[in-house]
Chains A and B, each alone.
Chain A
Amino acid sequence: MALTPERVDERLRERFPTVAFERLEGPAIRDWTVIVPADALVEICTFLRDDPELEFAMLSWLGGVDWLPRVPRFETVYNLLSLTHGMRFTLKVRIPEENPRVPTVSGVWPTANWHERETYDFYGIEFTGHPDLTRILLPDDWVGWPLRKDSPLGYEEVAFTHNSPNRMKPSPGLKKLAPKKVKYRAQ
């Protein structure tokens, strides 16, 4: 019998009767998504990985979302893949704005290591118990969390003559080149 997301959901509720699971509902939630509390996350993930009926052996990816101005503000998302059943299951953890933290799952799936570093890098969500929680894609001295919604996109204005008065003046360090002789067809 093929494994269905309904069955996974059922197994979870069977195994963790005291944990408050909430299925994410909406007009276009295309994948079966269950919201789990942060403190039970590691236990739930270990169960999903080891249960012989489910066998979610691979964590396909992990990411974050900033829902500003919604409360709680952040979410981390876990996309689990069962290779034996060819099935995916999505978990979500909701995280408050002040002191955002969630336990690491890098002990369950080692692949979470870089994903969690990336999420920390982008959102400033702290993964407690992570072996090496440092920035990964951005420079170490970067200030701020770029994928938060209150972080501006930011860009460097392109220098044109109209927006930079000194554009025509060569910088002092520049060696002056002889003007290029251009012969136009009209001349």
Chain B
Amino acid sequence: MTLNMGPQHPSTHGVLRVALELDGETILKSKPIIGYLHTGMEKQAEYKTYTQSIPQTDRMDYISPLSNNLAFCLAAEKLLGVEPPARVQAIRVLLTELTRISSHCVWIGTHAIDIGALTVFWYTWREREKVLSIYDMVAGARMTASYFRVGGLAMDIPEGLLERCEKFVDEMPEHIDEYEDMLKSNPIWLARTQEVAYLKPEDAVAWGVTGPALRGSGVKYDLRKNEPYSGYETYDFEVPVGRGKGDAYDRYLVRMAEMRQSTLIAKQAIARIRELGEKGPYRVQDHKYVLPPKEEVKTSMEALIHHFKIVAHGFFPPVGEAYAAVEAPKGELGFWFVSDGSPRPWRMKVRSPSFINLQALPLMIEGRLIADVITAIGSIDIVLGEVDR
């Protein structure tokens, strides 16, 4: 029997359709069918300037907009050959680590709901809302923040942000304990995640799986450690791996431990921002590529010209190609730009982790029961906006 699961199924986290070939309740073959949310972002980017594309990236993985912004900006900065000041990098690290916490909060909440542990959702949403209000504070939008710019930030951080972030990261470990208390003694949760949806390490590597799903299989690879960006090599943190079985429970352990590590990184980042100044430069001083400060535009002719040129045409990157990736909450998120020297990218390629991790779904569910499909989909943490782009 062939059964269509989705695209309108609540546990598929959007519009994923999985065609299941069944024998009774056992899955013989499965095929994920995607594309229902395809918006042609790669094509659209070719018709926009680099800055105009940043709001598009928010809409890919809408659970973690700032990670997407960061990957985009890093790739463009690599192409331009500019490096933002240390203060900007620390702010970026702080906000993307909060993004990771918020994304994992959404993940644990929805994943638990899917497999019968309803309560934890209400708790995680509370913490997620705190992160969203931090976005609101820095960028003026709760979900589609678009806060990072090529070469820096859209604006400086507001007063009181660091205190608020500090309060959040101080409280967070306690809340993580709360989530774990609700789950670790829940027999339904344990029965439905342990020994389910296995992904062997060699399969995970061959199928290009990255992020917590890869580390859940026991492969210790984290871009923040192995290919550091934004100064991650100077932060002190661990890369958690599961207990080496590669099942859904391992992926749960990895993400919970990652949230704790993120609070540690965020604390270090806050200390660093304090050290470098709560107010200060928030953009690169290279005004061929990055807007000059507004005060300067009002007084300097040259700054006014730069401002006008960048706003009217966008910046002109050199002819070339560059790929940069970040460790997004879902895995390796990368952007590849081809530039022909014009202010619009000739080609923008998105390496989206959800798309690639989803491809490994059949490995986890074939030969198992239908109920395990829901666990497997939840445990790889996909966002369909990013799968289909």
Among A61, A66, A83, A86, the most chain B Cβ lie within 10 Å of the Cβ of A61
Per-residue CB proximity of A123-162 to B under 8 Å, as 1/0?
Answer: 0000000000001111100000011000001000000000
Q: Which residues of A contact B40 (CB under 8 A)?
A: 146
Q: Which residues of A contact B388 (CB under 8 A)?
A: 137
Q: A58–B208 contact, CB under 8 A?
A: yes
Among A24, A79, A113, the most chain B Cβ lie within 10 Å of the Cβ of A79
B33 — nearest CB in chain A belongs to which residue? Answer: A136
For the complex, what is the distance from the CA of A115 to the CA of B336, rounded to whole Å?
14
B320 to chain A, nearest CB (A): 3
B286 to chain A, nearest CB (A): 15
Q: Which of A86, A109, A114, A135 contacts B227 (CB 8 A)?
A: A86
Q: Which of A28, A58, A90, A114 contacts B355 (CB 8 A)?
A: A114
Q: B359–A114 contact, CB under 8 A?
A: yes
Interface segment, one of A8-16, A29-37, A95-103, A178-186: A29-37
Q: Which of A28, A60, A110, A122 contacts B321 (CB 8 A)?
A: A28
* Chain B positions 307-331 with a Cβ under 8 Å from a chain A Cβ: 317-323, 325
Q: B320–A29 contact, CB under 8 A?
A: yes
Q: Which of A57, A61, A115 contacts B205 (CB 8 A)?
A: A57
* Chain A positions 21-49 with a Cβ under 8 Å from a chain B Cβ: 24, 26-31, 33
Per-residue CB proximity of B26-47 to A under 8 Å, as 1/0?
Answer: 0000000011001010111001
For the complex, what is the distance from the CA of A59 to the CA of B44, rounded to whole Å?
26
Residue B288 lies at the interface, judged by CB distance under 8 Å to chain A:
no
For the complex, what is the distance from the CA of A63 to the CA of B351, rounded to whole Å?
9
Q: Which of A26, A57, A111, A139 contacts B320 (CB 8 A)?
A: A26
* Chain B positions 321-355 with a Cβ under 8 Å from a chain A Cβ: 321-323, 325, 332, 334, 336, 338-339, 346-347, 349, 351, 355
Q: Which residues of B contact A146 (CB under 8 A)?
A: 40, 43
For the complex, what is the distance from the CA of A110 to the CA of B361, rounded to whole Å?
13
Among A29, A58, A147, the most chain B Cβ lie within 10 Å of the Cβ of A58
Q: B334–A28 contact, CB under 8 A?
A: no
Among B81, B317, B320, B332, the most chain A Cβ lie within 10 Å of the Cβ of B320
Q: B35–A88 contact, CB under 8 A?
A: no
Q: B43–A61 contact, CB under 8 A?
A: no
Residue A77 lies at the interface, judged by CB distance under 8 Å to chain B:
yes
A30-B79, A110-B207 are contacts. A79–B321 as well, Cβ < 8 Å? no
Residue B137 lies at the interface, judged by CB distance under 8 Å to chain A:
no
**Range class of the A interface residue count:** 35 or more
Q: A58–B205 contact, CB under 8 A?
A: yes
* Chain B positions 20-79 with a Cβ under 8 Å from a chain A Cβ: 34-35, 38, 40, 42-44, 47, 78-79
B71 to chain A, nearest CB (A): 13
Q: A26–B319 contact, CB under 8 A?
A: yes
Per-residue CB proximity of B195-207 to A under 8 Å, as 1/0?
Answer: 0000000000111
Q: B206–A113 contact, CB under 8 A?
A: no
Residue A93 lies at the interface, judged by CB distance under 8 Å to chain B:
no
B319 to chain A, nearest CB (A): 6
Per-residue CB proximity of B217-228 to A under 8 Å, as 1/0?
Answer: 001010000110
Q: Which residues of A contact B205 (CB under 8 A)?
A: 57-58, 83
For the complex, what is the distance from the CA of A86 to the CA of B356, rounded to whole Å?
19
Q: Which of A28, A33, A113, A137 contacts B339 (CB 8 A)?
A: A28
Q: A114–B322 contact, CB under 8 A?
A: no
Q: B221–A57 contact, CB under 8 A?
A: no
Q: Which of B34, B81, B207 contacts A137 (CB 8 A)?
A: B34
A60-B351, A61-B351, A111-B208 are contacts. A137–B43 as well, Cβ < 8 Å? no
Q: B322–A59 contact, CB under 8 A?
A: no
Q: B351–A79 contact, CB under 8 A?
A: yes
A173 to chain B, nearest CB (A): 25
* Chain B positions 176-227 with a Cβ under 8 Å from a chain A Cβ: 205-208, 219, 221, 226-227
For the complex, what is the distance from the CA of A57 to the CA of B204, rounded to whole Å?
10
A28-B322, A137-B38 are contacts. A111–B207 as well, Cβ < 8 Å? yes
Where the two chains meet, the residues of A that have a C-beta atom closer than 8 Å to any C-beta of B are 24, 26-31, 33, 57-61, 63, 65-66, 77, 79, 83, 86, 88, 90, 109-111, 113-115, 122, 135-139, 146-147, 153
A-B residue pairs in contact (CB < 8 Å), sample of 10: A28-B339, A30-B78, A60-B325, A60-B334, A79-B336, A83-B219, A86-B226, A114-B356, A136-B34, A139-B35
